[in-house]
Structures are given as structure tokens and as C-alpha cells.
């Protein structure tokens, strides 16, 4: 009879899922290098996560059976594709996209009830993430609802670890993108001059990037964008709804918003974890992880490590931004961070600027999201507009 290995914790237990952030805090104190059936080896301390992020030779990103460009690659292959991707998030592109992003935020905030309660995640956060992502990539509005359904199915399949369902979801997304690529090729010179069309002209080495690579890049951007941006917007709104003084301070001093957003999302991470594979035996906290061990880097714990941040729930605007792992670190640091920061700043400027008060709804408790999602699956809020149509602060 083969004995099952002993595990340190169960990431899928009801206790963990009831409050992921609190559970990960407990694991960081109790068992900072933990083994489980669902997540394999997990690292909870800031020091250990940073060590893994910077030791890309020892911790490979090649963790998927599918092509994942570029974050599922290691150097030198990763370097080639990273050079293609980074210019899409440069300052010039962000400046050009800002008015488009702002118009979307203005319209969605204007559609919120003038004085009443709203289920904020489905009525606002998800719509914002969908619309800005489609606009950035140049995708038609007809894809909004399919992408919304696809995001939910992807989350359900990942949570269930249903590999067949995960493959089906991936192929479904691939069909959407291949159809867009075909439309652009058929249009020839009349194809829209957008980011998706631009990707089709990129070269890796001495050849054009192929459709499989384009699909992988767009899948990677879309999975990350739709889930983390909507989670981030919900986390930010929830945090400020419970702190009217901070809410008003940010209305009066909108220049503080970038630092405030990064700090709130340090306290409550919108992205729970990321995966690696050990290429050689490696030791953490007296425990040896074997070669080929699958390792989960727990962002949601590392960014709350008391040895780095003191009381993790203390909100501070003077922290060293280099310590915040919100967008990762090392060679795989998120290339889309400038876009995410732009979108979150703009949406919070408009949400605060067009509303005089954001508060938690009475009698309805928020419902926390469960792994692999973060934030809230339901967030009833009450929003109130100013007495007149004047914005609370002008841009």
C-alpha cells in the first residue's frame, strides 16, 4: 500500500477560502515553506519570493504545456519576445491611450445610480476591465460578452484543476483571436491600425511572428488584464468605502492616487500567486525542494511580510516602491505595469471625482473571491453624486 505524502496545509479548505489573505498571513508565520497537494510547494515570505524571482536560472517559468509568450519562457528565448512586447507599453502609447481610457471610465461612472446601491463588481469593475482591454487591443465590442463568459469559465476550470476544461477554455479563446487575425488579413491595407494588427508585423529573429505566438501573447495579456484589473478596482473601491477621510483626501489631492493605489493593492493583492519549476534542488528555511518541484510564489503573503513592511495593514504613502511586489520583480516583472497603473489611476480619479461619497451598502455583505481569484466576487456599494453635476475635483 502506497502512503499518501503528508501535507502542511490545504489551500482549498473552507477556512482558507473564507479569507485568503488572513490564511496566507497565518502560513507565513506558521509554515513559510509549505507543501500541499493543490499548490505543491508554496513560498510565503518576501525574502524567499524575491530570491526566487531573481534566480531565474534556478526557478524556471516554463511551467505550462502550452506555448506561453513570454512569461512561460526562460532566457534566451524570453529575452527575444520581451523585446517585442515592451514597446507596446511605453510612455508614448500610454499617453495616446489615456483619453480613450478616461472616456470609458467617465461613461461607466456616469451610468452608476445617482444615489443608490449597486453590485459594483458586475455593474462596474468587470465592465471597465473588459472595455479598456478591448479598446487597448483594438477589439470589437461584439467580443465583450464572450470574453466575460470566457473569463468566468477560465476561473472555474482553474479552480477545479480540470485540465480538460482548461484546454477547452484555452482553445475557445484561441478561436476568437484567430478569427480576428483572419479578418485583418482579409482586409489587407484596410485592416484597422491597432495593436493587434501591429503584432502581426512583428519579427522574431529573421521571421515574422506566427499566429500561435500572437494568440499566446494576446491570451496572456487578456487573462491577466481582465481578472486583475477588475479585482483591483473592487479592492480599491472597498478599501476607500470604509475610509471616508482617505477618500476625501484623495479627492482633494489626486496626485497621491498612484502611491495610494499601489499601497492598497499591497495590503490586499489582486493577484494571489505565480508559478515556477525548480531546475535543481534548493533549500528554504531548512527544507529542501527537489529538482523539478513545482513552486508557487505567494504574492498575497510576501507583500504583507512584517519583516519588510511592519504592520501589513498600516496604510503608508512613503514606502519604498522597490519593495512592493505588486507587479513582480526580476526579468519577468510585468511589462504591462504602465498600462495597469494608468487604468487604475484614471478609473479612481473618475470614481472619486464624480461621486461625493462611496460607502458599503447597508444590510448586504461583500462576498470574497476564492482562489485563483482575489478581491470580491460581489461588492454591494452605495454611491452618491454631488448636489450639482459639478465634479468633486476637476482634472
Mean pLDDT of 127-149: 89
Q: What is the predicted pLDDT for the residue at 124?
A: 97
Predicted confidence band of residue 349 (pLDDT cuts 50, 70, 90):
very high
| Angle separating helix axes 257-267 and 337-353, nearest 10 degrees | 110
Report whether the peptide linkage leading into residue 207 is cis, meaning its omega lies within 30 degrees of zero: no
C-alpha cell of 164? 480538460
**Could you tell me the domains of the chain?**
14-384 (1.10.630.10)
Q: What is the predicted pLDDT for the residue at 141?
A: 87
CA distances, 168 to each of 37, 97, 112, 143, 154 (Å):
24, 33, 35, 18, 9
Q: What is the predicted pLDDT for the residue at 388?
A: 58
Residues 6+ apart with CB under 8 A from 212: 67
Cβ-in-10-Å burial (0-12, 13-18, 19+) of 73 comes to buried
What are the pLDDT digits (tens) for 368-393? 999 988 999 999 999 998 865 555 55
pLDDT at residue 85 is higher than 90: yes
Cβ-in-10-Å burial (0-12, 13-18, 19+) of 28 comes to buried
C-alpha cell of 201? 508585423
pLDDT at residue 354 is higher than 90: yes
Tell me the average pLDDT of the chain. 92
Mean pLDDT of 71-77: 95
Pairing of strands 40-43, 294-298: parallel
Q: Which residues pair with 33 in a beta bridge?
A: 43
Q: What is the predicted pLDDT for the residue at 159?
A: 66
Q: Between the CA atoms of 79, 83, 85 and 90, what dihedral angle is there, to the nearest 10 degrees?
A: 130
Mean pLDDT lowest for which of 13-17, 156-160, 243-247? 156-160
Q: Is 382 helix (H, G, I), strand (E, B) or coil?
A: strand
Mean pLDDT of 125-149: 89
Mean pLDDT of 330-352: 97
Predicted confidence band of residue 5 (pLDDT cuts 50, 70, 90):
low
Residue 247 and residue 16: Cα distance in Å, rounded? 30
What are the pLDDT digits (tens) for 285-303? 999 999 999 999 999 999 9
Percent of the chain exceeding pLDDT 70 equals 95
C-alpha cell of 96? 495616446
Q: Is 367 helix (H, G, I), strand (E, B) or coil?
A: strand
Residue 78 and residue 143: Cα distance in Å, rounded? 29
Predicted confidence band of residue 1 (pLDDT cuts 50, 70, 90):
very low
Q: Which one has a higher pLDDT value, 313 or 141?
A: 313
CA distances, 128 to each of 93, 108, 132, 228 (Å):
19, 7, 6, 12
Residue 19 is given by DSSP the state -
Q: What is the predicted pLDDT for the residue at 163?
A: 73
DSSP alpha helix (H) spans, the chain = 14-18, 20-30, 46-54, 77-85, 91-110, 120, 126-137, 144-160, 163-187, 195-199, 211-241, 244-252, 257-267, 299-302, 306-309, 337-353
pLDDT at residue 206 is higher than 80: yes
User: Which among 355, 360, 103, 375 has a CA at the least distance from the CA of 236?
Assistant: 375
What are the pLDDT digits (tens) for 17-61? 999 999 999 999 999 999 999 999 999 999 999 999 999 999 999
Q: What is the predicted pLDDT for the residue at 299?
A: 97
What are the pLDDT digits (tens) for 211-251? 999 999 998 888 778 889 999 999 999 999 999 999 999 99
Q: What is the predicted pLDDT for the residue at 136?
A: 96
Residue 298 and residue 28: Cα distance in Å, rounded? 10
Residue 125 is given by DSSP the state I
Q: What is the predicted pLDDT for the residue at 392?
A: 55
Residue 237 and residue 126: Cα distance in Å, rounded? 13
Q: What is the predicted pLDDT for the residue at 45?
A: 98
Amino acid at each position: 500500500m502506497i502512503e499518501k505524502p503528508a501535507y502542511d496545509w490545504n489551500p482549498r479548505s473552507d477556512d482558507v477560502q473564507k479569507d485568503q489573505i488572513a490564511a496566507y498571513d497565518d502560513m507565513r508565520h506558521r509554515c513559510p515553506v509549505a507543501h500541499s497537494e493543490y499548490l505543491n510547494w508554496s513560498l510565503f515570505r518576501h525574502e524567499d519570493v524575491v530570491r526566487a524571482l531573481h534566480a531565474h536560472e534556478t526557478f524556471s517559468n516554463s511551467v505550462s504545456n502550452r506555448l506561453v509568450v513570454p512569461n512561460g519562457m526562460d532566457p534566451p528565448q524570453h529575452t527575444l519576445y520581451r523585446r517585442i512586447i515592451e514597446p507596446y507599453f511605453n510612455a508614448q502609447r500610454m499617453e495616446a491611450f489615456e483619453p480613450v481610457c478616461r472616456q470609458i471610465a467617465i461613461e461607466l461612472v456616469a451610468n452608476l445610480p445617482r444615489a443608490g446601491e449597486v453590485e459594483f463588481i458586475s455593474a462596474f469593475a468587470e465592465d471597465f476591465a473588459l472595455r479598456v482591454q478591448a479598446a487597448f487591443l483594438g477589439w470589437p465590442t461584439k467580443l465583450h460578452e464572450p470574453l466575460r463568459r470566457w473569463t468566468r469559465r477560465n476561473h472555474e476550470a482553474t479552480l477545479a484543476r480540470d485540465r480538460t476544461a482548461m484546454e477547452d477554455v484555452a482553445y475557445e479563446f484561441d478561436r476568437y483571436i484567430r478569427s480576428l487575425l483572419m479578418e485583418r488579413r482579409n482586409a489587407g491595407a484596410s485592416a484597422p491600425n491597432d495593436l493587434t494588427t501591429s503584432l502581426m508585423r512583428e519579427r522574431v529573429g529573421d521571421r515574422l511572428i506566427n499566429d500561435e505566438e500572437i494568440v499566446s501573447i494576446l491570451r496572456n495579456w487578456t487573462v491577466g488584464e481582465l481578472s486583475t484589473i477588475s479585482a483591483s478596482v473592487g479592492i480599491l473601491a472597498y478599501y476607500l468605502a470604509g475610509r471616508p477621510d482617505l477618500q476625501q483626501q484623495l479627492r482633494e489631492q489626486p496626485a497621491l492616487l498612484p502611491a495610494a493605489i499601489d499601497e492598497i493593492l499591497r495590503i490586499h493583492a489582486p493577484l494571489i500567486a505565480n508559478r515556477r519549476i525548480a531546475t535543481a534542488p534548493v533549500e528554504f528555511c531548512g527544507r529542501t525542494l527537489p529538482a523539478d518541484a513545482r513552486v508557487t510564489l505567494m504574492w498575497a503573503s510576501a507583500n504583507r511580510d512584517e519583516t519588510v513592511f511592519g504592520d501589513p495593514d498600516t496604510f503608508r504613502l512613503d514606502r519604498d516602491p522597490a519593495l512592493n511586489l505588486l507587479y513582480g520583480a526580476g526579468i519577468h516583472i510585468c511589462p504591462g505595469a504602465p498600462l495597469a497603473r494608468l487604468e487604475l489611476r484614471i478609473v479612481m480619479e473618475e470614481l472619486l471625482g464624480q461621486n461625493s461619497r462611496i460607502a458599503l451598502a447597508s444590510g448586504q455583505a461583500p462576498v470574497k473571491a476564492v482562489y485563483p481569484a482575489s478581491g470580491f466576487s460581489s461588492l454591494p456599494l452605495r454611491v452618491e453624486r454631488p448636489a450639482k453635476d459639478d465634479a468633486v475635483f476637476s482634472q
